[in-house]
Homo-oligomer: A and B are copies of this chain.
């Protein structure tokens, strides 16, 4: 019966980098030292260093690329939704989370964001303009379903982003991503899709109008109906 959790080699590098991030030694846009250099610095093998960097990669902390130069190697980005999306997605697959919970959470986050007073009114106005463009693009009858879903997701995330909370924004994006396959699979034929998309367009316009006229309560209510209605169609 072993009690020790067996310390992993990559943890050394991971902790070191996390500390550097916290203390500000490493900031957005910086390059990490090369894998070979990190391996030597910490006295572990390159394989273990790669474990640590792989984790930072899937978590959306760094982006890695081959080649040399200032844009190569592991560069600090910070895309919280990347890691959270991946986690939620896998746990939905593993049945640790079900679709009801995802939908419930989406409604919670989106209605909250809708009712929040925008943290930045100039940005909020820009969002209104950009979402208007998205609505127009979703009117295109030539649009593929995949593309529609992509723009649809962007529409929702953009509206929620006016609340100015990266956690909520990332969560929304992640929740949407985590079940996008499920959604796509549950409405297989185009015949059943056509009437649905018409309703979605109408709902989006109503939601946008409520936002534009500052009817926050109403926007929240419309969003809740919109999300609930859509998922009721996926069965």
Contacts and interface: CB of A to CB of B under 8 A. Distances in A.
Interface of A: 6, 18-19, 21-22, 26-28, 47, 50-51, 54-56, 58-61, 65-66, 76, 78-80, 83-84, 86-91, 93-98, 101-102, 104-105, 108-109, 112, 165-168, 170-171, 175
A55 B79 CA distance: 17
A21 B91 CA distance: 9
Instruction: Work out how many copies of this chain go into the complex.
Output: 2
Contacts of A94: 21, 26, 28, 61, 76, 78
Contact of A91 (B80, B86, B105, B175): B80
Given A93-B22, A101-B167, A171-B171, A58 B55 contact: yes
A97 B167 CA distance: 7
A51 to B, nearest CB: 6
Given A22-B93, A60-B91, A95-B78, A168 B83 contact: no
B93 A18 contact: yes
A56 B90 CA distance: 8
A88 B167 contact: yes
A22 B94 CA distance: 6
Given A55-B58, A59-B86, A171-B171, A96 B112 contact: no
A88 B80 contact: yes
B84 A87 contact: yes
B97 A166 contact: yes
7 contacts: A18-B90, A28-B95, A55-B86, A59-B87, A61-B90, A98-B166, A102-B167
Nearest to A182: B22
